A and B are shown apart, each in its own frame.
Chain A
Amino acid sequence: MNNITLIEAVNQALAYEMQHDQDVVLLGEDIGINGGVFRATVDLQQQFGDQRVIDTPLAETLIAGMAIGMATQGLKPIAEFQFMGFIYSALDNILNHASRLRNRTRGRLTCPMVIRAPYGGGIRAPEHHSESTEALFAHIPGIRVVIPSSPSRAYGLLLAAIRDPDPVLFLEPKRIYRLQKEDVENNGQALPLDVCYLLREGNDITLVSWGAMLYETLQAAEQLAEQGIYAEVIDLATIKPIDMSTILSSVEKTGRCVIIHEAARTGGVGAEIAAQLAETGLTYLLAPVQRVTGYDTVMPLFRLENHYIPDVSRIINAARTALEYA
């Protein structure tokens, strides 16, 4: 059992799968000798060689396109984008090719690839290094979008993403890369995709979140509990496709729901969850669904980022608003 951080869990999962599956290759910028700017791939090139842990030229379109080509040949490429802010030149390949290759060849060719990218704010990073744009990708048919929120889920979900026969965008909340440690057994055990994870049980209100925001969400749940309000906390984990049945069961029990995400509000993944609650769970609801999110502004540079990223008090206020309805 290793007591490790989220970023170490990513490294552990990558190493495990490279050890056990010769088809797994890593590619990206500075991932080899440098071990990645966040050290996600540290020591892997030494262990598995520069043919399988590939330092690419500085070319994001190439990285995405190449991974697609590799996948069609039966490799399982894992491409690292250094920051989510630099993934957009790969969007053409993700949307036009990776996501639809299986469909447009009726399964003749497939695309078992993973794209990893650190995302989100809170580490006082430069411009373009702090955005949360998971909703852009959640809109794309044919891919999965997965976000871990703890070391053990990072390990289990990344293994699942690598083994999945379809393309997976694996977004890593870099604010919590080293925030907490957890015991993670390096046993190669994957966790299921396409399902939510129940992190805390409660009967009074449902809090749905993902990624780094679960850190504040769990704190909010703790403070609410001190006030005698018992919140159920759900980690969405797979952003696309969304496991609504877990959320609906919880809301059926609590009647109230707050969705917390760092990304901008309009068209965010929270909007989709709220819409589906309205479509199929309206009769369960005792109060309007509340959203605690980033604003529909450009993500500010780091002096103001803590005003943008939802904090514990905003979550508690939203929960209190939902609880005011009789």
Chain B
Amino acid sequence: MSESITYYQILNHQSRIIDESDDYQVDNQTLLDFYQQMLLTRSFDQKAISLQRTGRLGTYASSLGQEAIGTALGNAMQGQDVLIPTYREYGAQLARGVKMNSLLLYWGGDERGMAFEGGAVECMQDMPICVPIGTQTCHAVGIAYAMKLRQEKRVAVCVLGDGATSKGDFYEAVNAAGVWQLPIVFVIANNQWAISLPRDMQSSAPSLAQKAWAGGIPGEQVDGNDVLACYERFHKAIQQARDRQGPRVIEALTFRLSDHTTADDASRYREDSLVEKQWQYDPIKRLKNYLLTEQVISVQQLEVLQSQCNDEVNHAVNEYLSTPAMAATSMFDHLYAELPTTMQIQRDEIERRINAKPGGSR
């Protein structure tokens, strides 16, 4: 086992490629795709926040500044793989074919959001957003175990935050992944903040990646604001897991540029200047400058891309806002495969109440 954690970067924050190794090749179209997907994630994010501020969405967890991780993951995975996310991986979910409308419905207080209705077949086995911190890590182990048991060429890709690495769930999951050499990749999206708790108060370990060692599996760090490095490292780890070369932990170093959620006020616990300084590492700006410098794209074309993203987001918002709430009785619909007869009384109770009220369930 290596004595130190390797840190990977390809496109540095001055937008210069610093890794010219032979096996590294990304064509211009891929670069543009990455850019567009990150931009789409951010456009979605901004819209979601404005919907929340105007009372049309519930509490929302922003992915501002973390777009590279989601986009890289969504592209590094194959369709048959399974994404086990936390709640800031919109980029990955969108890339895997989850509709924006689904994400809006979820944060808009509607269970149908995690049904992924109308989404691509590739996302249908993906786990829903996971709110209880770190619990998804053990689910991922079970998913990977099933894949291995059935000798499938599939990989479980589990995302967690820096805070989750302090939980026992994560250690239990990493440990088991090592014991059984499961096809699983853990991606720690280390955005330096677990609500108000900064990274240095989360753990005295010099890296979170090295927590992998306790489970006997390799760990590494990658610049989480460098979509090219993220893509390459995620892709490689996922392929290795697919080829039965064992699990891996990748700590992607990023920064939460937003509040924890729209219900949070980060100015209570961190200086604005600290956040402002972090904008120089913005993953979207970094790739944009590279695309412009290398003349892969023009300023005019960038504007077209932005307006395409806005159109797509606005379309989803319209869809979301015009989706009526479910019937009140729907809370009984998927509680069990079949509602136990003893519970029918309670369902009848709500139905009677609705029917008695003029205007029905809404």
Contact = CB atoms under 8 A, between A and B. Distances in A.
A106 B334 contact: yes
Interface stretch (B22-30, B168-176, B348-356): B168-176
Interface stretch (A56-64, A223-231, A250-258, A288-296): A56-64
B146 A70 contact: yes
Interface stretch (A38-46, A89-97, A178-186, A261-269): A89-97
Interface string A97-141: 100011111111110000000000000000000000000000001
Interface in A27-56: 51-52, 54, 56
A188 B271 CA distance: 66
B335 A66 contact: no
Interface in B307-362: 331, 333-337, 340-343
Nearest to B156: A69
Which of A104, A142, A242 has the most chain B CB within a 10 Å cutoff? A104
Given A106-B111, A107-B115, A93 B138 contact: yes
A216 interface: no
Contacts of A194: 340-342
B168 A108 contact: no
B115 A241 contact: no
Interface string B201-228: 0000000000000000000000000000
Interface residues of A, number: 48
A142 B114 contact: no
A108 B114 contact: yes
B140 interface: yes
A47 to B, nearest CB: 16
Interface string B115-158: 11100000011011000100101111111111101000000100
Contacts of A70: 142-143, 145-146
B127 A92 contact: no
A107 B138 contact: no
A64 B138 contact: yes
A67 interface: yes
Nearest to A193: B340
B334 A102 contact: yes
Contacts of A242: 342
Nearest to B169: A61
A237 to B, nearest CB: 13
Given A51-B149, A70-B146, A106-B334, A96 B132 contact: yes
B340 A241 contact: yes
B127 A142 contact: no
Contact of B337 (A56, A97, A110): A110
A109 B111 contact: no
Contact of A69 (B116, B140, B333, B334): B140
A62 B174 CA distance: 10
Given A56-B176, A108-B115, A72 B337 contact: no
A192 to B, nearest CB: 11
A242 B132 CA distance: 29
B176 A75 contact: no
Contacts of B263: none
26 contacts: A51-B149, A57-B172, A61-B138, A62-B172, A62-B173, A65-B139, A65-B141, A65-B173, A66-B139, A68-B139, A69-B84, A69-B139, A72-B142, A72-B143, A75-B149, A97-B139, A102-B337, A103-B334, A103-B335, A105-B128, A105-B334, A106-B333, A109-B125, A109-B127, A109-B128, A243-B342
